[in-house]
Structures are given as C-alpha cells and as structure tokens.
Chain A
C-alpha cells in the first residue's frame, strides 16, 4: 500500500541586523531568503518516514514566487520526491496572505493530491502566524495535532502516535487518525545536509507550478479581513549591558548588577 506525505514548505526572509523599511515592507536589500527552519524539520521527518517505509512518496507544496524554487530544490535535494509551487499574479499583488488564504490555497492542493498525511512547520520564521497548519486541517476536515515533537507513524493503519508540546512544559501523548495534519516542532529530528548526489537529482525531479485557475480558485481567495497598515521598528525600552572578559570577572559583574537592581538579595 502506498503512502503519500505532503509537506508544506515556505521560503522565509531573514533580515540583516541593520535594515531599512520601505513602505509596508523591509527593503529587499536587507533580506536573504531561506527555507523556513520549522519546515526543514518537517521535510526531514517526511523523508525519514519514506526511507523507513515501502512506497512512500513525499511531495512538497509551496506558495511562492519563482525565486522560491531555490528553496524548493533544497527540499528536493534532501529527499522529497517532487514539488508543487502555487503562484499567481493575484497573490503577488495581494501582498500579505493571511492564514485563511494560505489554508484555502493549500486545501486546493490537498484536495487534488489526496495525501495520507500532511506535515507543516509549527510556524514560519518571518510572519510567525503559527496558524496555517491548523487552519488547513479545519478547512479540509482532517484531524490535526499541533507542535509535534515526536512522531511514530503507522502507515498501514494511517495513525500517527504523537507527542506534542503544550504550554508550561507540559506534553501530551495522543494518537491522531489519518488523514491528518501535523505541525512539526524544531528538534523532532536532526535535519540532514543535502548530499551532492541529492542536489544533482533534485534538478531532475518534477516541480509543477499551479496558478489559481489550475486549482479551481479565483482571485477572491486573497480577500482578507486583515490589512497590513504600517511597518515600523519598535523602540527599544531597555538597554542591554554587555560585559567583556573572562567568565570569572563577568560573573562578578553580573552578580553585583543583579544585587544593585534588586533582582537578587544578599
């Protein structure tokens, strides 16, 4: 019996220490793009499942412009079998895509791919909504588990035994029946480096691009109650003190400081 795992991957922007804001965004000159850290763990988890099982296909799906293909190829180089990229002029024009819009777009892909399991990252490092995975599950009517840091997947029964992080250091062990969406937490595994052969193969793996039309959607999918109205850098409310020197010296200085501030007594 074959298993299909769909992994959502996002190309995220990383900002330089110093940057400038231009309109509603950070000036592109200060941005570098990379695979979202959480998604790296989700890809690794899927690839490990495909290596452990028979006939497991790993498909990645990305919402992003052509530039994001670099990130997608990285995931393919690490072992995903093929990739789907969704993009459209309407998405480019919309600017901010909220979690509902993303869930609608991804749902269209889930409906056409019919995966047994969907893995997403817990959140994206740039907008940090942390909502897309669960919103997607609701949208397609799948079971879900969020912030999964351990996964034992039974492909025959399509049941995921997961450990998930709750607030305050509490963890929950639970079984989730498939098809399901699991949002993957960092630390669940150790993401691999791509091998050079993997990189070579990645260039030959299929990467299909879908516009809204291809997914049976129209431009209304980007309508959102959420508007990005301004972008600014919050003012710092406190100053950091940095001590330089050996641990012995700096520990003394820190202790004195903490006493003076009344943080500790004695």
Chain B
C-alpha cells in the first residue's frame, strides 16, 4: 500500500536499498513492534534477518565481505526501518552494529580486520555496543575517568560506564578509556584510547558487572550501567594509536549523526501516516474528523517540516565526508536537530488527532511519541547541537 513518505530524489542504489528494506520489514506486523516495546524485548528476529542478508555490513568495504556503501544508502536504510513500523527503537537496535565497526576499518590492524570484519558483514559477530558516556562525563566526554593502564602485553581497565546500549546483544564492546589522565595532557582531547573488548572474555574474567537501566522509551533496546574491575585486554585490541581515541571517534561522527537524523525522519513519517489514516477513518458528528482544519493543519504543518528536514538530511548525506570540518559538523547537527524537531511535532500531532486513543497502545502513536521525545535527547541533546552551530558556524563565544 502507499506509504506516507516525504519526497526526495533517490539514486538507483538508494531505491534498491529502500525496496529491499521495505520487503524485509513487511515480514513483521505491527503487533510485533508493539510487543517488543511492551515487553522490552529486543527485535532479535528482525535483526537476525537483516544480519543474514548482509545489512549490518552495509558500510564495510567489499574486501571484508561488506557492501561498500556509504551514508546516502544508510540514511535510506535507517529511514525505512523506522518508517516501516518499528520506529526509532528498531533503527537503534542495529545502529551500533552498523557504525561501531567503522573505526575498526580505519584504525584496526590488518590481522584483526581480517579476523573480525567478514564475520560482522555476514551477521555472525556483532559490535553493537559502544562505551563512552560515564556518570561524571556525559556531554563533557573528555572528562571520562575509566582508565586503561599498560601492564605487560596488555592493558588493565578499571572504571564505570553508563547508558551503554545493546551490551546484552553484542559480542564486542568498543570501549573508550583514558590512557593518560586529563590533568597530564596539554589538550583535553588527548590521552583517550579505543579498545575492542570481547564481552564473553570479560565475563569469563569476572571483570565486568552490568545493570540494566529501566526506561520508558525505546524499551526494546536495553541500556546498561557497566563496571570494569581489573579487566585485562590484550594490547592488540587497542584500536588505532594510544591517546588518539577521541579523534578516532570524532572521525565519522557526522555521518553517523545523519543516520540518526534519518531515523527521526522515518519515525516522523510513521507517526504522521497513523495520524492521517485515523483522521480519514474516524467519524464524529457524521464526518471524518479530518474534515476539520483543527485536525488538518497540524498534520499538514508537520508534513512540511518533515519534508524540509528530509530534504536537508538527504542532501547532507550526499555531501558529508569523514573530515571533522565545521562545514560537515554544521550540516550534520542542523540535520539532526531539525529532523528530531519535525519528528516530535509529527508524533505530537498524531497523538492529538487520536484524541483519547492517542495513549492507547494499540494505536502505536503513543509509542512513537515516547520515542520522538527521546530523539531530542540522543545521542546528544538538541541544546548541544545548537551550541555547536553557535560556536563553530556563527563563531560566538563558547558557552560552556
């Protein structure tokens, strides 16, 4: 059936990605996504199906069994997954699996890449989890305290992480830790290193404790608090150069942000579609409620805002590079900011259109609304995106 999508011009490969993801999503009905949310259940079946068909390797080079595609294709994939009914949560269920292997391609040594990446591309191994945020270092990520100390042929890691997602669904954790204390580096962004932690090995060592964080949005994707107690990591699992980890994370961050923006667009489209359908079907006072402008206008307005945001996201997807330049940072942050606002507005209009049924689980819009609210908080708050543009693009004084 016709699906509500804001229109953008797609390339041949984008159309193929869209058609195929649509086909895969159509295997799963609304009750499936609903149940995953209600029961806080990871969409294993969906993720396995994607993995089996190679979708988690979309960004991996062909020499490692991946598809060698780029941001233009990933934005279509993520938008379709979210718009296909699964919402932001379902896109988030695989987001890490797609992006966490990217730094490995660039910075890991060849032996590790050859060992691991083909298995990731085939969906047999996953690097779904990324540990950066800490209780005392949220947006201020250079203040992390988790520390990796060199010891013989490896590192010993101690510390704590919070809001680390999908640890329960992953074989590996990409972990950020200080290798030089912040006080001892001349630039706060130095002295941080990136490690690939084998989670099964960490559990065998008894060096990892984790606790799930109960939450109310994207419940299907679990987030954890993690504690590392003398976790031993072999030296060859240091990814890239010691002390350069923060730069390795920044690299590619803009592209990832665009994927998240596309997830927002998809969620907004799913919500808006529900709102519009309900406005056509629901009859009160002998006419569909969509006859009333009070119902029409918020839906029309959110369509316009989604359309504008989608235009920007897709345009940016074709232009960003992995350079950490102000121009790409502004594009990515602006895209994500506008996409999240548009998606929130669409979800809100969809809930309002449903009247009292707006909070009934069976109509899905309440789930979309909870997720839309979340998009304004992750991966960074909307305010941080504004800060970025104010400071870097408009050259206003740094405010924090």
Contact A74 B62 (CB under 8 A): no
Residues in B44-78 with C-beta less than 8 Å from chain A: 49, 53-55, 57-58, 62, 65, 67-69
| A16-B67 contact given A70-B19, A74-B19, A195-B53, CB 8 Å threshold | no
- Residues of B near A194 (CB, < 8 A) are 16, 20, 53
- Against B, the Cβ 8 Å flags (1 = close, 0 = not) of A194-237 are 11110110110000000000000000000000000000000000
Q: Which of A14, A17, A30, A196 is B53 in contact with, Cβ under 8 Å? A: A196
Q: Is the CB of A200 within 8 A of B53?
A: no
Across the interface, B16 reaches (CB within 8 A) one of A17, A32, A73, A197, namely A73
Contact across chains for B67 and A200 when beta carbons are under 8 A apart: yes
The answer to whether B2 and A32 touch across the interface, beta carbons within 8 angstroms, is: yes
CB-CB under 8 A for A70 and B12, given A32-B2, A77-B20, A197-B67: yes
- The listed residue (B1, B49, B65, B67) touching A199 by CB distance below 8 A is B67
The closest CB in chain B to the CB of A191 belongs to B23
Q: How far is the CA of A69 from the CA of B19 in the complex (A)?
A: 13
Cβ-based interface call for B24 (8 A): yes
Q: A30-B2, A32-B2 are in contact. Are A195 and B13 (CB under 8 A)?
A: no
Q: Which residue of A lies closest to B60 (CB)?
A: A196
Q: Looking across the interface, which residue of chain B has its beta carbon closest to that of A14? A: B1
Most chain A Cβ neighbours within 10 Å, of B1, B24, B53, B55: B53
Chain A-chain B contacts (Cβ-Cβ < 8 Å), number: 53
- Residue among B24, B54, B69 having the largest count of chain A Cβ atoms under 10 Å: B54
CB of B17 within 8 Å of the partner chain: yes
A52 CB → nearest B CB, Å = 21
Pair B24/A193 contact, Cβ less than 8 Å: yes
Contact present for A196 and B19 (CB under 8 Å): no
Distance in angstroms between the alpha carbons of A196 and B58 in the assembled complex: 7
Contact A199 B2 (CB under 8 A): no
Which of A196, A197, A203 is packed against the most chain B CB atoms within 10 Å? A196
Q: A193-B23, A196-B57, A197-B67 are in contact. Are A70 and B16 (CB under 8 A)?
A: yes
Minimum CB–CB distance for A125 against chain B, Å: 14
> Which of B16, B23, B53, B58 sits near A202, CB closer than 8 Å?
B16
Distance in Å: Cβ of A69 to nearest Cβ of chain B: 7
Bound: A200/B58 CA distance, A: 10
Residue contacts A-B, CB under 8 angstroms, 9 given = A30-B2, A74-B16, A77-B20, A193-B20, A195-B54, A197-B54, A199-B67, A200-B62, A203-B13
The 9 closest A-B pairs by CB, nearest first: A196-B54, A196-B67, A195-B53, A200-B67, A195-B54, A16-B2, A199-B16, A70-B15, A194-B20
